[in-house]
């Protein structure tokens, strides 16, 4: 059939259908916040680009992306922890993100090599203590390095070694100080465990609230979730009994991890994907993120949630390149096993 034999209405319909199909972005995400859905809806309202979501755990999504290969419908992979983003890049799943806007907002240490992924929000892995036992002055010079001291014997609560957040913390130590120092530090840390590692980050905070430990290591946003009342009265009550301590300004500062995203190499909607990532880093989207997930913003024009801001805003951040958490993950896992970190 020749083109001139096709009814003009059908040609117009075909053009419109193709245009509508191109106005979408397909996202695979391991973030589990219902509040993110509102952001996706806002993006569609602002741009006319439909957001299609596939949600699962990071490991499952990575395997799916590898299995689908060039036939994957995915445009963007969103996950938590720089180690997961590094792994996706190692698998060859990402392409370079070309956006001057993103480069101007996101510090280089919070982006992947070759700009193949970027942070969307920051997560500080900090210390928690009971103000009944210690004042902020008592602990003002405390650093992660100090936690291996015998002073803290049987006083520390932390998750197990199979937790990626802890693996990234140890990997960051290796990146800064080398394996020999980090292994000696980890040996002392394990000796100071108040109990066998168990539970999630909120369980460590609760351990301090219940006097089962003097100090806990956990991500700051968990305290925000607990103080918001979203996790129930029991956790709200526990959260009110603890405070955040940001590790010593005299050392590297607070360990920073991220939730972030990369654009899939086979993306059919690259320009839409760029627009989506730029939107997620806009002031409007960043304000929504911090008020609902209690993470720290990437956009410097946005302040953290008041629930988190009350514990301090001007703390020192460790500026280690976060891609190194993935680069040294294998060494970190082996080291943690050698020192008996269960």
CATH number at residue 172: 3.40.190.10
In a domain, 6, yes or no: no
Same domain for 331 and 211, yes or no, is yes
Evaluate whether residue 7 is within a structural domain.
no
Largest CA distance in the chain: 87
> Within the chain, where are the H helices?
8-22, 35-47, 58-68, 82-90, 100-105, 164-177, 179-191, 201-209, 220-227, 233-239, 270-280, 283-293, 306-309, 324-327, 329-338
Count the domains in the chain. Answer: 2
Together in a domain, 117 and 190: no
Assigned domain for 245 exists: yes
pLDDT tens track for 30-59: 998 899 999 999 999 999 999 999 999 999
- 61 and 162: one domain? no
Query: Three-state SS for 216?
Result: strand
| Host domain of residue 127 | 123-255+315-338
Q: Which of 244, 230, 199, 240 is nearest to 293 (CA)?
A: 230
What is the pTM assigned to this prediction?
Answer: 0.91
Residue 274's alpha-carbon distances to 81, 192, 248, 279, in angstroms, are 21, 46, 37, 9
DSSP 215: E
The answer to whether the beta carbons of residues 322 and 257 sit under 8 Å apart is yes
Q: Are residues 131 and 105 in the same domain?
A: no
Local confidence pLDDT in tens for the 342 residues of the chain: 433 443 444 333 333 334 344 699 999 999 988 999 999 999 999 999 999 999 999 999 999 999 999 999 999 999 999 999 999 999 999 999 999 999 999 999 999 999 999 999 999 999 999 999 999 899 988 999 999 999 999 999 999 999 999 999 999 999 999 999 999 999 999 999 999 999 999 999 999 999 999 999 999 999 999 999 999 999 999 999 999 999 976 688 999 999 999 999 999 999 999 999 999 999 999 999 999 999 999 999 999 999 999 999 889 999 999 999 999 999 999 999 999 999
Angle at which helix 35-47 crosses helix 270-280, to 10 degrees, equals: 120
Residues 144 and 211 grouped into a single domain: yes
Are both 208 and 325 inside the same structural domain? Answer: yes
Task: State whether 187 and 291 are in the same domain.
Answer: no
Q: What is the CA radius of gyration of the chain?
A: 22
If asked whether residues 248 and 134 sit together in one domain, one would say yes
Q: CA 27 to CA 174: how far, in whole Å?
A: 33
Are 198 and 210 in the same domain?
yes
189 and 324 part of one domain: yes
Q: Are residues 110 and 155 in the same domain?
A: no
HSE at residue 286, side-chain half, CA atoms within 13 A, is 21
């Amino acid at each position: 059939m020749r083109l001139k034999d096709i009814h003009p209405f059908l040609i117009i319909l075909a053009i419109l259908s193709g245009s509508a199909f191109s106005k979408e972005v397909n996202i695979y995400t391991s973030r589990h916040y219902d509040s993110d859905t509102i952001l996706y809806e806002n993006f569609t309202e602002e741009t006319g680009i439909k957001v299609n979501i596939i949600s699962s755990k990071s490991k499952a999504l990575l395997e799916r992306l590898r299995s689908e290969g060039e036939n994957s419908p995915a445009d963007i992979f969103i996950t938590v922890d720089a180690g997961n983003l590094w792994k996706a890049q190692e698998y060859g799943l990402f392409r370079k993100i070309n956006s001057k806007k993103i480069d101007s907002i996101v510090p280089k240490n919070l982006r992947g090599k070759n700009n193949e992924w970027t942070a969307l929000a920051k997560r500080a892995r900090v210390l928690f203590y009971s103000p009944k036992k210690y004042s902020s002055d008592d602990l003002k010079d405390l650093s992660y390095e100090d936690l291996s001291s015998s002073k803290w014997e049987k006083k520390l609560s932390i998750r197990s070694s199979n937790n990626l957040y802890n693996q990234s913390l140890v990997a960051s130590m290796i990146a800064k100080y080398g394996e020999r120092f980090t292994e000696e530090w980890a040996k002392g840390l394990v000796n100071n465990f108040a109990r066998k590692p168990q539970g999630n980050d909120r369980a460590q905070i609760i351990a301090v609230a219940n006097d089962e430990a003097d100090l806990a290591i956990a991500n700051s946003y968990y305290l925000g979730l607990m103080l918001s009342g979203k996790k129930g009265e029991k956790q709200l009550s526990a959260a009110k009994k603890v405070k955040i301590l940001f590790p010593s300004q005299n050392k590297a500062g607070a360990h920073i991890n991220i939730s972030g995203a990369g654009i899939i190499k086979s993306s059919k909607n690259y320009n839409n994907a760029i627009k989506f990532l730029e939107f997620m880093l806009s002031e409007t989207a960043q304000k929504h993120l911090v008020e609902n997930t209690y993470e720290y913003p990437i956009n410097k024009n946005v302040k953290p949630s008041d629930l988190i801001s009350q514990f301090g805003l001007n703390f020192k951040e460790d500026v280690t390149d976060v891609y190194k958490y993935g680069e040294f993950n294998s060494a970190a896992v082996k080291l943690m096993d050698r020192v008996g970190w269960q």
